[in-house]
């Protein structure tokens, strides 16, 4: 997919530049684009490293498990076919909690084992069960307390208060998740 | 809101101390992981930011936006973020590249900058998540997952505009 997008973007811009006589600014654009992408990486690297370090402390202390316990009443309501205290429920809880904390790298392995467990519960075949759909929809809608990447990017681009958007992010993602889950339920 | 991050960090540190985590060892270990993450996104960002920059310099973005402008304006959508709404479910790196483009053109604290930030923070790369999770258990018939996921993305886009409008009076 990205292969076509990347190729398409470049071919389209070259054709467009020739057609509109923007050749010179296109050449400048290539150089400044490559340069500014590296500048961006350097400016955001400090915060990225700091944040990864802080979150490693959280994850070694078992912060994810604490959040997972808090969420379990809610999750049990969403996944009625999944037994309480089963491995599937545990993996789902850890995946959702890790996502909530912005630990994407930690969330994926839990999510993959949750899918494996859900498949055991839901019989064989190549068709998704209702619980699988619900679970993947939860993972396609981001529920994050602290969107670090966005905050860091905003700061490197000169924002006065990079995290002033947090309430908006929380409201929007909660709304998006709710709509996703409702639709997943309605279309069953 | 400025206090959210410092307080969050303090909570994590105190929690770690209570749980007897070797604080600094864990920190440096995690930061090392951070370098790896940074390196792994570097090639994507360089490629896609350059491609986005090329589209802009060639005048193609302007042409595309002028086609979408009337529709976006009718919906009260800042036209600058339309390409990002379309790319967001498909490519995380691509939408990050567009996001930094919006920051540079309009400013990180502008209306479009804020809406784009909220959009980036409240959505995921839907197609990627679906491919990874269903692919791992060899599920081919995903039923209504895509419909629900895209509906969530659309909701996030609308809510990003609405919440920024209301909470920032803009």
What does the pLDDT look like over B91-129, one tens digit per residue?
A: 888 899 999 999 999 999 999 999 999 999 999 999 989
Q: Helix/strand/coil (H, E, C) string of chain A?
A: CHHHHHHHHHHHHHHHHHHHCCHHHHHHHHHHHHHHHHHHHHHHHHHHHHHHHHHHHHHHCCHHHHHHHHHHHHHHHHCCCCCCCCHHHHHHHHHHHHHHCCCHHHHHHHHHHHHHHHHHHCCCCCECCHHHHHHHHHHHCCCCCCCHHHHHHHHHCCCCCCCCCHHHHHHHHHHHHHHHHHHHHHCC
Instruction: Judge: B34–A49 Cβ closer than 8 Å, yes or no.
Output: yes
pLDDT band, residue B38 (cuts 50/70/90): confident
Instruction: Judge: A184–B144 Cβ closer than 8 Å, yes or no.
Output: yes
Please list every residue in chain A whose beta carbon sits closer than 8 Å to the beta carbon of residue B56: 29
Burial (CB count <10 Å: 0-12, 13-18, 19+), residue B24: exposed
Instruction: Judge: A180–B100 Cβ closer than 8 Å, yes or no.
Output: no
Domain boundaries in chain B?
A: 48-168
Residue A6 belongs to some domain of the structure = no
Residue A22 belongs to some domain of the structure = no
Region B29-38 average pLDDT? 90
What does the pLDDT look like over B62-102, one tens digit per residue?
A: 887 788 778 888 888 888 888 899 889 988 888 999 999 99
Residue A17 belongs to some domain of the structure = no
Residue B108 has a pLDDT of 95
CA atoms within 13 A on the CB side of B133: 32
Residue A6, pLDDT above cutoff 70: yes
Q: How many other β-carbons are positioned within 10 Å of the β-carbon of residue A25?
A: 16
A152, B164 contact by CB (below 8 A): no
Instruction: Judge: A41–B91 Cβ closer than 8 Å, yes or no.
Output: no
A135, A79 contact by CB (below 8 A): yes
Token couple for B46: 């360089």
pLDDT band, residue B156 (cuts 50/70/90): very high
Residue A1 has a pLDDT of 66
**Using CA atoms, how far apart are residues A176 and A157, in angstroms rounded to an integer?**
27
What does the pLDDT look like over A93-138, one tens digit per residue?
A: 999 998 998 877 778 889 999 999 999 998 678 899 999 999 999 9
pLDDT, greater one: A123 or A23: A23
Please list every residue in chain A whose beta carbon sits closer than 8 Å to the beta carbon of residue B159: 171-172, 175-176
Residue A97 belongs to some domain of the structure = yes
Instruction: Judge: B143–A169 Cβ closer than 8 Å, yes or no.
Output: no
How many domains, in total, are found in chain A? 1
Q: Which domain holds residue A133?
A: 46-186
Instruction: Judge: B26–A128 Cβ closer than 8 Å, yes or no.
Output: no
B59–chain A Cβ distance below 8 A for any pair: yes
Residue B130, pLDDT above cutoff 70: yes
Closest partner residue to B1 among A159, A166, A172, by Cβ? Answer: A166
ipTM of the predicted structure? 0.86
Question: Hey, which residues 64-103 in chain A have their CB within 8 Å of chain B?
Answer: none
- Which residue's entry shows tokens 């749980």? B19
Q: A67 CB contacts (<8 Å, ≥6 apart)? A: A97, A100, A101
Residue A109 belongs to some domain of the structure = yes
B110–chain A Cβ distance below 8 A for any pair: no
Q: Identify which of B26, B114, B72 has the alpha carbon closest to the alpha carbon of residue A165.
A: B114
């Amino acid at each position: 997919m990205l292969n076509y997008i990347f190729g398409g973007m470049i071919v389209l811009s070259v054709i467009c530049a020739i057609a509109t006589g923007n050749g010179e600014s296109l050449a400048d654009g290539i150089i400044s684009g490559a340069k500014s992408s590296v500048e961006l990486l350097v400016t955001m690297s400090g915060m990225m490293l700091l944040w990864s370090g802080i979150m490693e402390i959280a994850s070694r202390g078992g912060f994810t498990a604490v959040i997972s316990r808090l969420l379990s009443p809610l999750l049990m309501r969403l996944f009625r076919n999944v037994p309480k205290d089963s491995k599937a429920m545990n993996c789902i809880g850890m995946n959702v909690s890790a996502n909530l904390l912005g630990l994407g790298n930690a969330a994926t392995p839990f999510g993959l084992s949750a899918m494996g467990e859900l498949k055991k519960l839901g019989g064989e075949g190549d068709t998704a069960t209702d619980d699988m759909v619900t679970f993947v929809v939860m993972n396609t809608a981001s529920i994050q307390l602290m969107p670090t990447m966005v905050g860091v990017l905003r700061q490197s681009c000169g924002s006065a208060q990079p995290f002033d958007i947090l309430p908006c992010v929380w409201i929007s993602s909660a709304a998006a998740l709710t709509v996703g889950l409702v639709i997943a339920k309605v279309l069953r | 809101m400025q206090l959210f991050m410092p307080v969050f960090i303090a909570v994590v540190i105190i929690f770690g101390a209570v749980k007897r985590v070797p604080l600094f060892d864990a920190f440096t270990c995690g930061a090392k992981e951070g370098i790896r993450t940074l390196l792994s996104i570097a090639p994507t960002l360089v490629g896609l930011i350059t491609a986005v920059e090329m589209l802009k310099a060639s005048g193609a973005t302007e042409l595309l936006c002028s086609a979408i402008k009337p529709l976006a304006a009718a919906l009260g959508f800042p036209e600058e973020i339309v390409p990002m709404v379309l790319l967001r479910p498909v490519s995380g790196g691509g939408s990050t590249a567009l996001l930094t483009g919006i920051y540079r053109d309009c400013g990180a604290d502008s209306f479009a900058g804020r809406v784009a930030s909220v959009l980036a923070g409240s959505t995921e790369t839907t197609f990627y998540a679906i491919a990874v999770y269903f692919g791992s258990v060899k599920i081919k018939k995903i039923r209504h997952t895509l419909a629900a996921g895209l509906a969530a993305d659309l909701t996030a886009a609308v809510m990003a505009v609405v919440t920024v409008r209301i909470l920032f009076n803009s």
